[in-house]
Structure 1
Amino acid sequence: MKKVVFLSALCFSLLASSSFAAEAKKGLNVVLTAADAQTQQMAMVLSLMTLKQGKQVNMTLCSKAGDLAVKGMKSEKLKPKGKSPKMMLQAIMKNGAKVEVCPLYLPNANKDKSVLLEGINVAKPAKVAEQLLNSDFTTLSY
């Protein structure tokens, strides 16, 4: 009987501490490099859900995902909502997400800052590294 009570208390303690840890997180870091629209969309959906929970989102776009940050570049609309990753990117920005392109994206795409959507800046590697190492944030990489 004592063993059952101890195990029950231990399980409750672990569940309570993991729940507390989730509450203590300030938000989400998202590093998105994938060219695939479904993968991009999943990053956007999870980011939006994080923002709706009152948490922060820091997103860095690099490689083909950087195309989402460029004015006039299209992205594929997906089922079931008929929205594209670019549309969702703009939605998360309206909800307070900080979005940047990695510093390698523009020069390797033969573009400059003038092509970026309003509100998107070029990331500074030292700041991105600092944010990724911040244990108050969960990091997702796609």
Structure 2
Amino acid sequence: MKANKLTALLFGSILAAPLASQANDNQIDKALIIVNSGSLQTQGMAMVLGNAMQDKGTHVDVLLCDKAGDLALNETNNKQLKPKNVTPEQMMMKLQKGGASVNVCALYLPNSSHSKDALREGVGVAAPPEIAQQMTAKNTRVFSF
């Protein structure tokens, strides 16, 4: 009886090995999250998913365009979202602490009344050639909100 259980266990392990390998093949190395929505819930969900990907080992970068660029401003203090009672900008800063770069679109500042000095610490201004490189890299998946 013990031999049958051992055989079954070994056979099950052999069958499961390709599945585990396949799961690792589906893991993305890098993610670029582009957020342009002015909706706090959409911004919040983008940051929630970015943090979840980062927790799984994916390198995450964030590009904030249009109304979402306001998340990058020092003066922005949005209302907390349930159920965790955190703001989209707090979740964005958590991504930064985990190694994510956060940039506003190249068009954001010139088309607003804000200067680079108004941006939160660590937030930069995107260079289109660098973003284009990220978007077309084979190991990067692009998500848009």
TM-score by length of 1: 0.84
Runs of 4+ with >6 A deviation: 14-17
For residues 66-110 of structure 1, what are the alpha-carbon distances to aligned partners after superposition, in whole Å with 9 as ceiling and x for unaligned? 000000212121111111101111111111111100010011112
| Counterpart selection for 2:101 from 85, 98, 106 | 98
Instruction: Please report the RMSD computed on the Cα atoms of aligned residues, expressed in angstroms.
Output: 1.9
Change (3 A) 1:134 1:109: same
Deviation, 1:17, is: 7.4
2:89 equivalent to 1:86: yes
Bigger radius of gyration: 2
Structure 1 gap segments, 5+ residues each? 1-11
Give the structure 2 partner of residue 22 of structure 1. Answer: 26
Give the structure 2 partner of residue 5 of structure 1. Answer: none
Alignment of 1:1-142 (within 5 A): 19-23=23-27, 25-142=28-145
Query: Distance between the aligned counterparts of 2:30 and 2:133, measured in 1?
Result: 14
Deviation, 1:50, is: 1.2
Equivalent position amino acid for 1:140 in 2: F
Aligned residues: 130
Structure 2 gap segments, 5+ residues each? 1-15
TM-score by length of 2: 0.83
Query: Distance between the aligned counterparts of 1:77 and 1:15, measured in 2?
Result: 40
Does the CA contact (< 8 Å) of 1:27 and 1:50 recur in 2?
A: no
Query: Distance between the aligned counterparts of 1:140 and 1:76, measured in 2?
Result: 24
Deviation, 1:15, is: 6.2
Equivalent position amino acid for 1:133 in 2: T
For residues 96-138 of structure 1, what are the alpha-carbon distances to aligned partners after superposition, in whole Å with 9 as ceiling and x for unaligned? 1111000100111121110111111000000001100112011
